[in-house]
Amino acid sequence: MWVYEKKLLYPVEVTTCNPMLARYLMEQYGGADGELAAALRYMNQRYTVPDKVIGLLTDISTEEFSHLEMLATMIYKLTKDATPEQLEKAGLGAHFVNHGHSLFYENAGGVPFTATYIQSKGDPIADLYEDIAAEEKARATYQWLIDISDDPGINDALRFLRERENIHSLRFREAVELLKDERDRKKVF
């Protein structure tokens, strides 16, 4: 189904060790409105939508996994040279004790990822509206991360991710209109 190209979707440059920023980025890595939840949500929903939008959900889900890879790269680069003391000061002491410098799917508050973040109603239009909301929440979170970050390389990658969320939202809106037109079309038997 996939062809993996051994490069990031967009380059990630990090100028300095910053465990606090890494902690904030974890919200998009393993939080309720983050990239993992989105990728799994769309991949799951693709099985109960009309054929016209299966490809869209598959494409966007796949791209969300590439966003997850970018976030993992950012978090790793921001923490790889951090001392245990720096990690503890950033609120990542418990994470370090449990995982060392390894990444773990959790939000900025340290709450582990859970499948309850994945929404799927089984109604294609309802699911697509949920997907639009997910993309808009991710867009907002990326903006807030940009606002709090002073790392130009991270901000460049975050701006890229924010803009991709805008595109995904627009694509889901187009899919809703397509399905609504089909639903409302008179059927003659």
User: Does the annotation flag 35 for ligand binding?
Assistant: yes
Helix-strand-coil split of the chain, %, nearest 5: 70, 0, 30
**Whole-angstrom distance, CA of residue 12 vs CA of residue 101:** 18
130 is in an annotated binding site: no
Residues 26 and 161: beta-carbon distance below 8 Å: no
27 marked as binding residue: no
DSSP 46: G
The verdict on whether residue 59 carries a ligand-binding annotation is: yes
- Close Cβ partners of 120 (under 8 Å, ≥ 6 residues apart): 41, 44, 45, 48, 127
State yes or no: 135 annotated in a binding site. Answer: yes
Q: Is 64 marked within a binding site?
A: yes
Q: Quote the CA–CA distance of 173 and 3 in Å, as a whole number.
A: 27
Write b or e for each residue in 80-113: b if 16 or more Cβ atoms lie within 10 A of its Cβ, otherwise e: eebeeebbbebebeebbeeeeeebebbbbebeeb
Straight-line distance from the first to the last Cα atom of the chain, in angstroms, rounded to the nearest whole number: 38
Binding residues: 35, 59, 64, 67, 135, 168
Annotated binding site for Mn(2+): 35, 64, 67, 135, 168
Residues contributing to the annotated binding site for Ca(2+): 59
